[in-house]
Amino acid sequence: MNLPPYTFEGGVAVVTGAASGIGRALALQLAGQGSHLALIDRDEAGLTRLASDLGQAHPRLRVTAHTFDLSRTAEIPQLADDVLHVHRRVTLLINNAGVALGGTFEQITLEQFEWVQSVNFRAPVALVKAFLPALSAELFPQIVNVSSLYGLLGPVGQSAYAASKFAVRGFSEVLRHELAPRGIGVTVVHPGGVRTNIANNALTAPGTSAAEAEAGKEAMNRVLSLDPAVAATIILRAAERRTPRVLVGSDAKVLDVLTRLLPGTYWGILGSLMARRSGADVRGETR
């Protein structure tokens, strides 16, 4: 089914991970296009600042801030109820929030692994489930699920993160096929190295020294270069056009081709390139 372009003006967008990075950039641009906003993040201070800024810049829009830890997936239905109580409707759901964890699978704990799955995968699933009745009541709504470059390839030291982002990719593809006949679009996003705080906020495996953790974060921050505003523009253009899958950044595009050409052996090339570029063992994250 060919869906018409998504209309931002007058719509209601739910954005997770809205307090910083790509999420903040998305919120700013959505408001600029006339969308009412329900902003979700665990960073209460950052979320409050953003909502205040948007309220001053766009007084005619309804902007609400919902401080929430997405690892509490069992409470997401109540979160959705809170959003709908104020906004009454939702036309766009952007599952952008994500957390990261550095360390090999042997080094990290199962509790850490499960935490990443809860925030990065189970929360988007629960949010889609909670908001689907409201989305289904709208004419041609849209769902945007942010995966990652690491939803296309599996680098050393990223078992939890890559597993969650591959899961988001698969979930999104099934959703697209199931919901298209009902007039609901689904876009899955694979950003490469976007300049966000995800590496700075990443957990590390037990036993990692402060110096090792800091070195890993510094190494990855050197490869996180794309402006979040540029990423947000690409994502919203894809949502408007109902693009099924969008690669954000030249690194994502190049590495997508590499994994297609060498699906079983790409790491021999990529591992060396990433280590050389970062100047350290690869332990960080992309968005």
Q: What are the catalytic residues?
A: 161
Q: How many CB atoms lie within 10 A of CB 272?
A: 10
Please give the structure tokens belonging to residue 254: 């190049």
Angle between helices 159-179 and 123-136 (to 10 degrees): 20
Q: 3-state SS of 105-142?
A: CCCCCHHHHHHHHHHHHHHHHHHHHHHHHHHHCCCCCE
Beta strands across the sheet bearing 92-95: 63-67, 36-41, 12-16, 92-95, 142-146, 185-191, 245-248
Pick the closest to residue 43 from 61, 65, 26, 28 (CA basis): 65
CA gap 22, 24 in Å, rounded: 6
**Residue 118: C-alpha distances to residues 44, 167, 256 (Å):** 20, 12, 26
CA angle 164/169/173 to nearest 5° reads 145
Instruction: Write the DSSP symbol of residue 24.
Output: H
CA gap 54, 234 in Å, rounded: 21
The 8 Å CB, 24+ separation contacts for 177-180 are 179/143, 180/1, 180/3
